[in-house]
Structure 1
Amino acid sequence: MMAKSVKTPPSPKAGTARLPNVGAGELQTLLDYVRYAVSCFQAAELVFAHGTTDPVAEAAFLVGEALHLRPEQFESFATARVTAAEGKTILDLIEARVTTRKPAAYLVNKIYMRGLPFYVDERVIVPRSFIGELLASHFGGSESEGTSLIDDPFAVENVLDLCTGSGCLAILASRHFPDAAIDAVDISKDALGVAARNVSDYGLEDRISLHQGDLFAPIKGRRYDLIITNPPYVDAEGMAALPAECHAEPKLAFDGGADGIDIIRRILAQARGHLTAEGGLLCEVGRDRPQIEAAYPDLPLLWLDTEDSEGEVFWITAADLG
């Protein structure tokens, strides 16, 4: 699950910022701590692209996790008072976020996708893929509105998740395609350790098989009704400009080569041989659409939008791959 290619200068180095002093009793409610965190995050010029998109959402996430509240529970307790011990835990998290520049998900070892919690640590990139939303909106789910690319989710028997990382997309796919067996591949043994934990947490060992290797190599001649992938796609310019937060994540999960589409080229070259006749490929590419369209002017890619993205994921059928 990749970050968007970043064109802005890196944030200040870790350890250069400090929090303002807070007197006893000055912060009382959850909202007080959220407001304080937002002020600290904005003063430190943090970057938000790791499951939250702005300082308010990130502050609420950290406060909620410190208090063992799920995101949907925050509003119910927003004006509740925080104990002294809880307040210290929250302030420690805020300070760690500012001083280390690590993504908030690493500080609490958790991220939410489509409302589901997943374990994450520095062995994997923090998931923030648009594919989870697209599975619900374009593949015959309850959110589909006449735009289904696969009409019957129950007809999908085999799914491949390339570059699975923490395994989040494979798990979301297992819930959306209830009769499908899923193979999840990653070149990183460390990443697959995190994926194995998430698969186990959801009790899906009998449906999701993890494979270590380079793209299609571990699954040899198998064919799938659906291939989903969120591969490395940051170009050389973007790699040089990654913010400090992204430097805490595995470089391998970002680097897409000089123009960002080295791995995407390999996926497009090999995908047809691993799809069933009626199958298709769903691929996230960040801001690399211009490079892909220039490299493949005759390929009929269908570009899909989400609530927070425009043309960052494409769909192509096996037939159109030729």
Structure 2
Amino acid sequence: MTIESLLKQAYGRLSALSDTAQLDAQLLLAHVLDVSTTYFFTWPDKDVSEVHQARFEAFLKRRENGEPIAYILGEQDFWSLSLETSPTTLIPRADTERLVEVALELMPHGARKLVDLGTGTGAIALALAKEWPAAMVIGVDYQSEAVALAERNAVRNGVANASFCQSNWFSALKDDAPFDLIISNPPYIDPEDEHLSQGDVRFEPLTALIAEEQGLADIRHITEQAKQYLTEQGWLMFEHGYDQGQAVRTLLQERGFGDVATYQDLGGNDRVTVGRLASY
């Protein structure tokens, strides 16, 4: 079969379950053939070997079962990075790039020292380390598998100023504090949220998705502990759910943070809330 006929067949199979069926099919076939997707526009009539067809078919079946593209391919682009992915961590998403953008906007001269809590693949920590090469960046995660994954991603992307360790939020950070920036994309989905049974999140680790107290338990815990780990005028920044902006602002204000503000994602939804440690 040719590239064109294979892709056309795949579009039809995936269109009912994915809003990005065409892109999904192209990414899967490009991975199988070890080419870029632009190759398909140049060589649509190129024959695909039976070996490559069989591998593509296996990928398609996994996608038809709902498995995320990032897990099938084992990689995902984020910011200027190419990240290895694993079902033990969340898939880095475009919405989280907004968190990186806000950090860069509010700290134009960078941070001397920062920590990314719940680092997962290392996406946030590595993006900021790459933008601020003079900064000391630490990423922590409760899961040892995530720490090892983030370390591999640092090597993969040539980032030398980021290190990673296992920690239950702040538990292993006493000797490293204080930080100019504490940043986190913590679990923030309500355990009763119906979206947990839909789409890609069905395949992602629940421990990285859900939090008690309508999704606010971990954000509350971090906010309550953050002051003792921040420098004077240090920033605390969260990604959170689209309907949690007011609640997170209230949590920060109740703990005495100033300059509290919420920023929207590309879809116009509340996505990032920040606060600055007030001086007394």
- TM-score computed with the length of structure 1 as normaliser: 0.75
| Ranges in structure 1 where 5+ consecutive residues have no aligned partner | 1-24, 47-52, 141-147
Alignment partners' CA distance in 2, 1:95 and 1:128? 23
Which residue identity is paired with 1:42? S
Please say if residues 159 and 226 of structure 1, whose CA atoms lie closer than 8 Å, have aligned partners that are also in contact.
yes
Corresponding residue for 2:32? 66
Please say if residues 154 and 162 of structure 2, whose CA atoms lie closer than 8 Å, have aligned partners that are also in contact.
yes
Whether 1:104 and 2:77 are equivalent positions in the alignment is: no
Aligned length: 272
Alignment partners' CA distance in 1, 2:267 and 2:11? 22
Which residue identity is paired with 2:228? G
Corresponding residue for 1:285? 240
Which residue identity is paired with 1:152? H
Please list the CA deviations of residues 30-83 of structure 1 after superposition, one character each: whole Å capped at 9, or x if unmatched.
x5444433321233x35xxxxxx73333233222222223xxx42354241252
Alignment partners' CA distance in 2, 1:117 and 1:294? 33
The structure in which a higher percent of residues are helix is 2
Return the offset for 1:177.
0.9
Return the offset for 1:157.
1.1
Alignment partners' CA distance in 1, 2:234 and 2:249? 25
Identical aligned pairs, as a percentage?
24
Corresponding residue for 1:301? 260
Q: Describe the SS at the equivalent of 1:219.
A: coil
Return the offset for 1:244.
6.0
Return the match for 2:190 from 216, 231, 235: 235
Corresponding residue for 1:212? 166
Whether 1:249 and 2:204 are equivalent positions in the alignment is: yes
Please list the CA deviations of residues 277-319 of structure 1 after superposition, one character each: whole Å capped at 9, or x if unmatched.
1321221002242561585494653111233452111121122
The change in CA–CA distance for 1:133 and 1:61 in structure 2 (over 3 A counts) is farther
Return the match for 1:116 from 81, 91, 109: 81
Alignment partners' CA distance in 2, 1:112 and 1:255? 24
The change in CA–CA distance for 1:309 and 1:118 in structure 2 (over 3 A counts) is farther
Whether 1:126 and 2:100 are equivalent positions in the alignment is: no
Alignment partners' CA distance in 2, 1:54 and 1:279? 40
Whether 1:151 and 2:108 are equivalent positions in the alignment is: yes
Please say if residues 248 and 273 of structure 2, whose CA atoms lie closer than 8 Å, have aligned partners that are also in contact.
no
Please list the CA deviations of residues 222-273 of structure 1 after superposition, one character each: whole Å capped at 9, or x if unmatched.
0111121100011022167422642322221111114001000011111222
Corresponding residue for 1:93? 59
Please list the CA deviations of residues 197-217 of structure 1 after superposition, one character each: whole Å capped at 9, or x if unmatched.
21232344x522212121111
Alignment partners' CA distance in 2, 1:235 and 1:114? 27
Q: Which has the higher contact order (CA 8 A, sep 6+)?
A: 1
Please list the CA deviations of residues 85-108 of structure 1 after superposition, one character each: whole Å capped at 9, or x if unmatched.
433332221122113x22121112
Aligned pairs (5 A) from 1:67-86: 67-69=33-35, 73-80=36-43, 81-84=46-49, 85-86=51-52
Alignment partners' CA distance in 1, 2:67 and 2:115? 31
